[in-house]
Structure 1
C-alpha cells in the first residue's frame, strides 16, 4: 500500500493551482475596523499597552472566525465574549475619544456576527464542491488545525454529489501518501507554508481564504544555496498556476501564530511576577494542542504517546525531544510525575519508600534554602569553584531543585558541600539511585497497564476531535487525556513546575 501510494504521487503529470476568495460583509467590516484601531494605537496613542492588549483580544476573535466552519453565532465562546465586552467598556471609560470611530463600530459589527446563523466559508466550500465535483471524485480538505466532527458533519450533509471527502490537518496531510483529484486548502499558501507550494498530491489544488487576505503562490527556488545556472528543478514543470488574487491586506494570516507566541511570553512573564518560590521553575518547551491550548513540556523529560500506527505497541515512552507534530501525547489530569512516584513507591520501593523520600526531601531542602538566600547563579558558582562540582551552573542548580531531578551525577560532591558525613552521603546516594531505577520501572508499568485499557477503536474519535479522555481502572479511576500535538516550539521558557505537563488556555 505504501509503495503503491508513492508511485501514484509521482504519477501525477499535470497540476492546476487555483485561488478563491470568500466575502463576508460582516467579517470584512470587522477586519477593517480592527485594522483601523491598530493604526490609531500606532500613530496616536504611542502603542499604549492597555490598547494593545485590547487589540490582541480582538485579533484573537477575528482569527477564531477565520478558521471556523461553524455558524458565526457559535464561534466565540462565552469567556472570549466577556473578555471583549469588558475590554470595550474599559476603553470607553479611559479613552472616550475612541467611542464614535472605534468602539461603537466594533460593538455593532461584533453584535451582528454573534447573531448570524450562517458561515460564508462553509457555504462557499459546499457550493464549490457541489458545482465542480464529479461522481466518485476523491477530495481532500486541509485546514491548519483539526476539522472538528461537528464541522465535518455539516459539510457532509450539504454535499449533493457522491464524492469521497477526507479531512486533514496540515500535519496529518503531510504524513499521508494518498493522492486526490482535488485538494482544497482552507487558507492561503502562506498560512500552510512551503509544503503546500512544493508537494502536489492532486490534479487540482485550490486555496480558499477570506477576501481581506491575499491569495497567491510564489515559485521558490528549491536549491537556494546553489547557483541558479548550476541546478535544474522539475518541481513546477507540469504545474499551471492561475492568476493570484492580490490586494492590500489588513492582516497577514501568519499573524495568528505571532499573536499566540506573544501571549505565551506574556503568560510566562506573569508567572515570574506572581511566583514567590523562584527555585521551583523548570526549563520547558511549548507544545501546541487543539482548541487554543498549550502544554509546557520539560526539556530532557520522558513522555508517553499513543501510536495508532503500531497496534502491538500502542503506548510508547519517548524523550521529549523525539515528540513530533501530529503525535498523540498522553497526559494525566493530575501531575504525571506524581503518578510515576506513586507507582514507584507502591509497587517497587514499598516499605523503603517513606525513608527514601525523606532522604530525598532533606537534601533538596538544603539546596533550595541556599538558592533562596544566594540565587541560582551564585550557588552554581560556589559549587563549581569551591567544591569542584563540574556540572554546576545556574541551569543545572535549577534542575536539581525540581522534582524531576532525583540523582544528579555529582550528587556526592553536592552533599559534601552541605557538610554531610561520608557515611550519610553514601546512604543518600544509594537511596537516590534506587528511587531513580524505581521511577524508570514505574514508567514501563504505567505504559503497560494503559496499553491494556486502550484500544485501536478510539482512533476515529481522536482524529476527528484531536483529543480523547478516559478513566483508568488500573489507577483508581485516574483521568487521562490523549491530546494531538498541533505544533512544537523548541525555544526554552522558565516555567513554574505546577504548570508543567498541564493543558493551559492562553490569552
Structure 2
C-alpha cells in the first residue's frame, strides 16, 4: 500500500472508487474538556504576558505535549497520568517559583486540581464510545481502531470479542481492507491524507466535544471560478456527515509557544567566532528542547522518512517542518569521510592530496586578489555565470568535493593539462567513494535504530543512540520545528552541531 515499493493497484482502485461514509462522533468527558480549557487559558496568558520568558514557554510546551498525547490515547486516564508523572512534577515544580505567583493562582493550581481528579478515573472516553457504537449497531466484523501514536494495547475488548488497534501509518503500510474504522481523534489530529483518502466503507472520527470535528472539502481554482463548480474529485463517492463546531486543535494544543529570535542567535555566534569569518552558507534549523543547528545550503543532509524509516540524502530546500534529521553528534560529516577513505584504501591519502591542490591555489588567489575580484574574473573571463562569494567560500571548504565548474576552475587557476587530468580523476574517485559511503552508512544505521525511536521523538522531539557498527560514533535524530528563511555565513566547524538557544 502507500509507502511500500510494491503497490496493490487493485486495493488503491478500491479505495478511490468505493462509496464511503464518514461520521463525526463527539464524546463528552467533563474533566478532560475542563483541562483543555485550562490549557488554552494558560497558553494565552503566557503568550500575552510572558513572551520574553523563553524558559517558561519551553516548560509550558513540554507540559502541553504530554496532555496532547493523552488526548489521543485509549489508556485509562489514571494509567496515562501515572506514566507522565515525572513530566507533570517537573512543570509544577518550575511554575511554583515566586516569579509566577499570579500564574499559579489563576491557571496552574486549577490544572493541578483537575489532574488530581482525572488520576482517579479508571476509564477512557474513547473506549466507552466505541463499545457503545459496537453494541448499538453490531459493529465487529472487519472493524479496527486507528491511533495517531503507537499504542501498547493491540486489542480492545468489546464484550467477549476483540477489535484490533493499529497505529495510523502501520495500518496504511499493511494495506488492509476494512468495513469500519474508528479514528481516535478528530481529522486535524491526523495526517491530512486521512481526510482525503478513506480506507473503509465507514469511517468514524471520534473526538472530545470541545474540538472542531469535521472535514471541509477544498475546491480547486476557487479563486478563479465559483465554489459551486466542484473540480476536486477527492470526495467523489464520499458522503460526509455533518460535522461539529469547536475550538481549533492545532492553535489551542499543538502550536508551540516558543519563538525563534534569529538576530539573537546570529549575534551570539558572531561573538563566539571573534574575528574568524564564516565560510559556509547555511540556514538556522530549530529542533527540540530549545536547540538549533546549522545546515549547509549547498550540501546534502541525511533524513529519515517517517513513513517507512528509510534513510536518504536530500538538500535543504526540500526539507519541511516535522522532517527527521539524522547526523553524527557534534561531528558534522566526518563519518562519511572516514568510511569513504576506507573504501578508497591505500589511495585515499594521495587522492585527497590531489584534490587539495586546487583548493589551496584558489584560497591563495582569494587572499591575494580578494574574493570579489576572483568572482569577477571567473564570471567574465571563464563564463562561470553562477559563481559568487558564497559559492567560492563553499568550494574551498572541506564539505565540497567536486563543484560543477571544477574543470573551468582548473583552467582559471593555470594548472597544466596533465595536472588537470590527475585532479579531475582524483576528485571523481573521491566523489564516488563518498556516495558509496553514504549508502553504506545508511544501510548499517537503519538496522541499529531502536524500535522505540518514534515514541522517543514523539515525547522528547529527538532520539540519540551510539553505533555498534561504527565504533565511537553517536547519532542524533532530530525533528525539525522551524527553518530560517535567511541564508547566513557560519564557520564550517559549526555546521551540523547542536546548540542551545
TM-score by length of 1: 0.68
Checking the alignment, whether the CA contact within 8 Å between 1:17 and 1:241 is kept in structure 2 is yes
Q: Does 1:385 align with 2:385?
A: no
* Contact 1:140–1:168 (CA under 8 A) maintained in structure 2: no
| 2: CA distance, partners of 1:449 / 1:40 | 47
After the TM superposition, which residues 87-102 of structure 1 pair with which residues of structure 2 at under 5 Å, given as runs? 89=97, 91-92=99-100, 99-100=101-102, 102=103
CA distance in structure 1 between the aligned counterparts of 2:499 and 2:121, rounded to whole angstroms? 28
Q: Which runs of 5+ in 2 are unaligned?
A: 1-6, 458-462
**Alpha-carbon displacement from aligned partner over 1:393-432 (angstroms, at most 9, x marks no partner):** 3432443354322344456887999xx7x45998599548
Matched, 1:447 2:439: yes
SS at match of 2:162: coil
Match in the other structure for 1:167: 167
| Count of aligned pairs between the two proteins | 464
Equivalent residue, structure 2, for 1:128: 129
1:72 aligns with 2:86: no
Q: Which residue number corresponds to residue 42 of structure 2?
A: 34
Conserved in 1, the CA contact under 8 Å of 2:329 and 2:475?
yes
SS at match of 1:30: helix
Q: Where does residue 181 of structure 1 map in the other structure?
A: 179
Distance 2:277 2:254 in 1: 29
Whether contact under 8 Å (1:223, 1:231) holds in the other structure is no
SS of the residue corresponding to residue 153 of structure 1 reads coil
1:253 matched to which residue of 2?
A: 250
1:197 aligns with 2:199: no
* Secondary structure in structure 2 of the residue aligned to 1:203: strand
Q: In the aligned structure 2, how far is the partner of 1:202 from the partner of 1:188?
A: 16
Q: CA deviation at 1:340?
A: 2.0
* Structure in which a larger fraction of residues adopt helix: 1
**TM-score normalised per structure 2:** 0.69
Deviation at residue 444 of structure 1 after TM alignment: 0.8
Spell out, residue by residue over 1:321-368, the C-alpha distance to the aligned partner (whole angstroms, 9 max, x if none): 677999887544463620122233344133426745765775586589
d(CA) in 1 for partners of 2:254 and 2:397?
Answer: 30
Equivalent position of 2:338 in the other structure: 342
Q: How does 1:228-247 map to 2 (within 5 A)?
A: 228=227, 231=230, 235=235, 238-246=238-246
Q: 1:162 to 1:86 in 2, by over 3 A?
A: closer
CA distance in 1, matches of 2:61, 2:481: 20
Q: Match of 1:61? A: 63
CA contact (8 A) 1:73 1:117 kept: no
2:400 aligned to which of 388, 402, 405: 405
SS at match of 2:467: strand
- How well do the aligned residues superpose, as a CA RMSD in angstroms? 5.2
Instruction: Give the alignment of 1:329-478 within 5 angstroms.
Output: 331-333=327-329, 335=331, 337-348=333-344, 349-352=347-350, 355-356=353-354, 359=357, 362=360, 381-385=372-376, 388=379, 390-400=385-395, 402-410=397-405, 422=414, 431=423, 434-435=426-427, 437-445=429-437, 447-448=439-440, 451=443, 469=465, 471-473=467-469, 475-476=470-471, 478=473
